[in-house]
Amino acid sequence: MIIMLPDFRYIFFCMIFFLGEITAQEEPKDKPFWVLENGIILFFDVNGYETDSYTCGEASVSELDLNSDGYEELIVTQKRRMGGNLFYSLVLFDGSRVFSFVDSIYSGLVEPEVDYHSELNSFVIISGNPAMDSIFLSKGGRGSYNPVRYFVYDGEGIPDVSTDLYEDYSRTNEMLIEMLSGQYGDDSYICEASEKVFGTVLTIVLNFLASEEKALALKYFEKFYNCPDKQIMITKLQELN
């Protein structure tokens, strides 16, 4: 009788393949990760265990190493629709060990974005300045409206660094003031003209306020806004920090 011995080479190959499959399945990731499902972000640690969750609703999500520590932060840009308008908030999660909430910024009508700033040698979060969103909308939402503030992530929080970027505001406002002066002339801003460019006027004003130039903010508002409620509007501006 002939006894057929098993092919040990085949058995050895199968064992190696099977062990490799187990290793691949159990191998932990090298960083925490997240999954977005039905408007909810699920957070997991490097071993795949769920650590937290966040309900974000309608949102876009991206990852970027904002403070150059080798770990990517999670940037959640949330959208809320109300009265035919979109309102934005930015929520930041640190991703160094497990994803943890850092802070949020309400951006109002202006969609926030992240860009690299060579002067600060850092990424900056550029958000809207919603201090006068309601007034802008009450006037019909006319004119280009894009007032901004600047923030950085320092590893612990998101401090406002707007006053450190005075030149950015100065360049933007110089361009906008030149545009308005050329559009109607320095002395031709009757109420109808003022209302057509109201968003641009507010952008100039809020940019000056963000760079702590309150006197210039009031000066150019008085120059470009000439409607019956002018003094009421000036009082509102004076009350802003």
Nearest to 101 by CA among 92, 88, 109: 92
* 14 Cβ contact list (under 8 Å, min separation 6): none
Distance of alpha carbon 218 from alpha carbon 187, whole angstroms: 16
Q: Among the three residues 108, 142, 160, which one is the final residue of a domain in this structure?
A: 108
Q: Which residues pair with 117 in a beta bridge?
A: 122
The residue from 40, 73, 108 where one domain ends is 108
For the CA atoms of 139, 141, 146, 147, the dihedral, rounded to the nearest 10 degrees, stands at 20
**How far apart are alpha carbons 214 and 163 in whole angstroms?**
12
DSSP tag of 130: G
Q: Which two tokens stand for residue 12?
A: 């050895």
74 and 102 belong to one structural domain: yes
Q: Residue 23 falls within a domain, yes or no?
A: no
Instruction: Going from the first residue of the chain to its last (241 residues), give the mean pLDDT of each consecutive group of 10, the final group possibly shorter.
Output: 48 45 46 93 94 95 94 96 94 94 97 95 96 90 92 96 94 95 72 90 95 93 92 87 64
Instruction: Provide the residue range defining the domain that includes 102.
Output: 30-108
User: What global pTM score does this model have?
Assistant: 0.82
pLDDT at 188: 61
Same domain, 128 and 226: yes
Residue with tokens 């120059």: 223
In this prediction, residue 1 carries a pLDDT of 45
Assess whether 119 and 234 both reside in one domain.
yes
